Structure 1
């Protein structure tokens, strides 16, 4: 309730009191009471002005918020249309159709990507690349558990220090050279980005799709293929330079985490296994009959083993062999790293793929490598869990 309304109710009360005093022939008291009435009337006028001012401010703020929301929605729609038009412009360009000046201004040639059959190569818009990365993660990507390093060149290296050789901080003061650099045991991890492409058949039908349908088509086609390729590369890097450790049951897994992994890596430890391996862990009970896997309070769809997330991939991607399910655990983000060209995805034509049907085929190309930064068993273990061992 507005304050002015309460004040008006009080005003009526004062008037009634003044009338009672006058009826009882208490004229002076009635006069004094009327002074209170006049003072309160003046106060009510001021209060109503204040309330009108506040209402005007609130109305202006509400209108501004509404305009902002409408503007945000409009900006989002405009961005979607712009991204779709960029794709259409690239398709028209690579198929030899004439572009308007506005369409030419939309496309961004790539300076590092290999060129298409007619010398063309273009970079997909950042928003679409972001959508592709989100879609890849929806398809259960190893990017969720491995590290990531964006780079600006197709080949190169970066320095890392293994957990087995990591040393403490170096004493250093002004005027001194510190320790000899030979004592700092860095190693260079080399990368060489590979072209990985998805093919899209270009047609007038594709050009006529709605904005969202065109974007979703490009995103889905690339993401489905990219996640298969990236997971294969990531798994190969995880296996590289590792001796497989046999894990008999959940107790052996617990013991290995306690003894094999360096305590320094435990903060980022995850446990990766397939559906068979998860089924074994999910059925396991401790000596008190309690499940050894517990739901994550922060994410009820995720399970924890000793407080570490258990990430499950399909048996197709991580196959069970000879009755043993793969189980990889440790700080995988420090162990293996995806390297790409700042997330760029290029768009170019391919003459080879469409020669049979006399059609134009486009390539969506990412430039990627997956490198092993630390193969130490102190960082992570590549193991095999006996399927059926649940106690």
Structure 2
């Protein structure tokens, strides 16, 4: 049984207990409603379980006729050839004729960036790892594209333009011209340099691939989180809605958001915002944020809207005079934002670039291409709550990097070592230097990672 089915079973058990508890408390109507929800959960589980069984039967059939073994063997050969190519690039071995044939026959081969393309199976594993619980990518629309640039056309307010009444045998009237909007995209190069030791490159193919997958997934997730938050701030700039209490929050969902959007809305906030929401109580003294009965580890605002918490480093609060403003994004991010993903990963390897030779390390430059665009800017609202502090907001280390900005060395040198490392982390760079190192080393590391990310 896969993880999704296991989670659904946990939800079903929790819902059964909820029905029992409500019955004991004499809340029969609530218990009946919960029982209907239980039936719905059970029906979903049964359908997915049947699909899983079909998949298992198919795998067993392939195993019986030897197809599965051939697929596994081919996957291992491709992964082995990929690792051998990395080792060969730094003189740790030679590519065999079979390795060369496999690499040449791979559809991935090379792309517009050059370098060695990461095999599909490894890319798939990276994709699964980067979509962990704290990944904002799960909340937005993601579209795979095969070209570097293009466009999509969407119709505005299609659901708000009704048909006219038509009498029998009468001509059908012209429907009002729909409002179409063109969304252009142009995928941009993202990347960074992973510095690895010679000892790691001498390890097994399995360990090298495992290390690469975790590192790439971590950086890809940080990159997407940053891009999404930057786009959210761009969409909502100068239109932030101040909130003081419950009534302000209710107004956002009841009036400011379109009812169709409110039905699928969620809340995204940082640790500061989550803490504020988690302490709000209604007139009866009950907390307005409650656990989601179908997902025990998740919470709901007003019993309806899922709340997603991200770290303060990922989505910083903004220091202002007298305190700091915490961001609370309300709405449907899938309607608001689309990521156009080329779904390619390429790498270059060098042990002589920069200071790698001096430190006996190898640099693996990783690149991917994607773009992010707003689709429906009215689908989200940025709420802000002011938290007053005695130090006038100095306690908040608010760094809001600009995605497209190229920082000069002079600008970076003005920052403290801690802020340089924090800025690099927020931009998705792999900062090997730490705040404990000499400032010159931290500055040099940031500039090197920025150059790699720009494809220089």
The TM-score normalised by the length of structure 1 is 0.70
Which residue of structure 2 aligns with residue 249 of structure 1?
245
1:290 corresponds to 2:286? yes
Alpha-carbon offset, residue 339 of structure 1: 1.1
Tell me the SS of whatever aligns to 1:240.
helix
Q: What are the ranges of 5 or more consecutive residues in structure 2 without an aligned counterpart?
A: 1-58, 166-170, 389-456
Distance, in Å, in 2 between the alignment partners of 1:196 and 1:335 is 22
Which residue of structure 2 aligns with residue 318 of structure 1?
315
Which residue of structure 1 aligns with residue 277 of structure 2?
281
Alpha-carbon offset, residue 264 of structure 1: 1.3
Check whether the contact 2:158–2:178 (CA below 8 A) recurs between aligned residues: no
Distance, in Å, in 1 between the alignment partners of 2:382 and 2:119 is 38
Distance, in Å, in 1 between the alignment partners of 2:177 and 2:260 is 21
Equivalent pairs counted in the alignment come to: 312
Check whether the contact 1:165–1:185 (CA below 8 A) recurs between aligned residues: no
Check whether the contact 2:267–2:330 (CA below 8 A) recurs between aligned residues: yes
Tell me the SS of whatever aligns to 1:138.
coil
Tell me the SS of whatever aligns to 1:370.
strand
Matches within 5 A, 1:56-205: 68=63, 78=73, 81-82=76-77, 84-92=79-87, 94-95=89-90, 98-107=94-103, 108=106, 109-115=108-114, 121-138=115-132, 140-163=134-157, 167=161, 179=174, 183-201=177-195, 205=199
The TM-score normalised by the length of structure 2 is 0.60
Tell me the SS of whatever aligns to 1:183.
coil
Tell me the SS of whatever aligns to 2:248.
helix
Which of structures 1 and 2 has the bigger CA Rg? 1
Distance, in Å, in 2 between the alignment partners of 1:374 and 1:273 is 20
Alpha-carbon offset, residue 206 of structure 1: 3.5
Which residue of structure 2 aligns with residue 9 of structure 1?
none
CA deviation map 1:118-159 (0-9, x unaligned) = xxx232122211221222222722102111111111111111
Which residue of structure 2 aligns with residue 303 of structure 1?
299
Q: 1:162 to 1:329 in 2, by over 3 A?
A: farther
Distance, in Å, in 2 between the alignment partners of 1:169 and 1:195 is 45
Check whether the contact 2:88–2:95 (CA below 8 A) recurs between aligned residues: yes
Distance, in Å, in 2 between the alignment partners of 1:75 and 1:294 is 50
Match of 1:225 among 214, 219, 224: 219
Alpha-carbon offset, residue 179 of structure 1: 4.8
Distance, in Å, in 2 between the alignment partners of 1:178 and 1:372 is 34
Which residue of structure 2 aligns with residue 208 of structure 1?
202
Distance, in Å, in 1 between the alignment partners of 2:143 and 2:162 is 24
Alpha-carbon offset, residue 66 of structure 1: 12
Greater RCO between the two (CA within 8 Å, min separation 6)? 1
Q: 1:78 to 1:297 in 2, by over 3 A?
A: farther
Distance, in Å, in 1 between the alignment partners of 2:160 and 2:88 is 52
Q: What RMSD over aligned residues (CA atoms) do the two structures have, in Å?
A: 3.5
CA deviation map 1:139-196 (0-9, x unaligned) = 722102111111111111111234499645799xxxx99958x822111111111111
Matches within 5 A, 1:15-34: none
CA deviation map 1:225-274 (0-9, x unaligned) = 22222211111111124211111123311221111111111332110001
Distance, in Å, in 1 between the alignment partners of 2:84 and 2:174 is 58
Distance, in Å, in 2 between the alignment partners of 1:247 and 1:350 is 52
Alpha-carbon offset, residue 67 of structure 1: 10
